[in-house]
Amino acid sequence: MNRREFVSRGVCALTAPLILPRRAFFSQSALPPLPAAAADGWIDLFNGKNLDGFYTFLQRSGKNSDPKGYIKVENGLLHIMANEVTSEVAETGYIATLREFENVRIRVEFKWGEKRYPPRLEAKRDNGLVYHIVGDDVVWPVCVECQIQETDCGDVFLLGPTGKQTKATTGSLTTFNPGRGVGTGRAATPPAAPAPPPAAAPAAPAPPPNPRVQGNRILKEGDFEIRNDWNAIEVLAQNDRSAHLVNGRIVNALNNIQQADPANPGQMIPLTRGKIAVQVEYAEIWYRRIAVKSLV
C-alpha cells in the first residue's frame, strides 16, 4: 500500500460513522454548555478572551494556580510561558478542558515564541496536544500526546503517572508500509508421488523491531512543521485508534489504545475518551485556535 492509499483509507476508516448516539460527544449536563458549532461543524473551545471551559494544572502550584504568570490570554491568543526567563527551573503542566470528548477531531493552531526556560535553555522548543486524559491531575496523567516539538511534531507519546505497577497507557503503531517479503506468486508444481509428511518447520524468526517505536514514543513520518509561522495540528480520535496530522499531512496512526483498568489492577481496557489539553513546558508558544468536531 502506498502512502496516498494509506492516508485515504486511514482517514476514511477513522471518520466512518459509528452507531453511537450524538450525545456521546456533546452531553455532560453538569458542565457549562459547549459553544455553538459553526456551519462546518467545528466548535471553538478557546474563545480568545479567557479560559472559560478550561482549567490549569502546574506540577508544583497545582490546579488553577499560576503565581508566576505562565499562562495569559493576550490579543485573542493563548500565550504559554508568558513570564520572564529567570534562573529558576520552570514548572510543567497543562491547560485542560473541563469536559471529556470521544469520537472527535481536534485542531489546534500554534506558533513558536522565542523564549526558552531552565532546564532546557538550549533544547528544542517543546509543547504538546494531549487527549484521552483520565484519572488524577498529575504531570503526566493517563493520556496520549501528539507531540508539538521542533522537528518532531506528530510523534506519539503514551503517558501516565510513574511508579505504577502496570503501564498507564499502551497502543500499537499502525504501519504506513505493511507487508514485507511478498512471495513470487507462482503456483507450486505438484509432486509426482505422495510425499511423506514434512518435518515440523522451524519457527519463523521474530520480525525486527520497528525503529519508529522507542519505548513509549512512536516517531512520526515526515516533517511538515513551519518553524517561523503558524501551524495546524489535528488529531482524529475514534474508538481506540487515532491519527495525527501536521498541516494537513498524516504523519502517525495508532490503534488498540488502552489504559490500566482502575478497578482491576494488571488488566488493560480500551481508552476511548477523556479530556483534551495543551501542555505547559519549557518554551514560549502561542495558540490562536483550539477546536473540536464530532466524528459521529
Question: What local confidence, expressed as pLDDT, does residue 204 receive?
Answer: 78
Does residue 120 register a pLDDT over 80? Answer: yes
pLDDT band of residue 93 (cuts 50, 70, 90) is: very high
Does 27 or 140 have the greater pLDDT score? Answer: 140
Question: What local confidence, expressed as pLDDT, does residue 178 receive?
Answer: 31
Q: Which of 4-18, 77-91, 215-229 has the lowest mean pLDDT?
A: 4-18
Give the global pTM: 0.81
Q: Which of 2-11, 84-93, 184-193 has the lowest mean pLDDT?
A: 184-193
pLDDT tens digit sequence for 28-45? 768 888 999 999 999 999
* Peptide bond just before 286 cis, omega within 30 deg: no
Q: What is the Cα–Cα distance from 271 to 274, expressed in whole angstroms?
A: 8
Question: What local confidence, expressed as pLDDT, does residue 16 receive?
Answer: 44
Region 101-128 average pLDDT: 97
Asked if residues 98 and 54 have their Cβ atoms less than 8 Å apart, the reply is yes
Region 126-135 average pLDDT: 97
Does residue 256 register a pLDDT over 80? Answer: yes
How many C-beta atoms lie closer than 10 Å to residue 84's C-beta?
9
pLDDT tens digit sequence for 277-296? 999 999 999 999 999 999 99
Does residue 266 register a pLDDT over 90? Answer: no
Q: Which of 23-32, 38-47, 111-120 has the lowest mean pLDDT?
A: 23-32
Q: Which domains are assigned to the chain?
A: 3-15+45-176+205-294 (2.60.120.560)
